Amino acid sequence: MKKALLLLAILLGLTAIVLAGVDFSGTWAPNAEKSDPARGGGAGGGRGGGAPTDLVIKQTGNEMVITRTMGGNPVETKYIMDGAEHTLTTQMGDTKYKAVLSGNAVSITGTQPGRGGEATPLKASYTLAEDGKTLTVATARVGQDGTETVRKQVYDKK
Residue 145 to residue 61: CA distance in whole angstroms: 39
Per-residue pLDDT tens over the stretch 107-145: 999 999 887 778 889 999 999 999 999 999 999 988 778
Domain ranges within the chain, ordered by starting residue: 2-157
Per-residue pLDDT tens over the stretch 39-65: 654 434 444 455 779 999 999 999 999
Residue 20 to residue 37: CA distance in whole angstroms: 35
| Per-residue CA distances from 46 to 2, 17, 25, 32, 51 (Å) | 56, 33, 19, 17, 11
User: So what's the architecture of 2-157 in CATH?
Assistant: Beta Barrel (2.40)
Query: Closest by alpha carbon to 138, among 34, 61, 63?
Result: 34
Q: Which one has a higher pLDDT value, 142 or 35?
A: 35
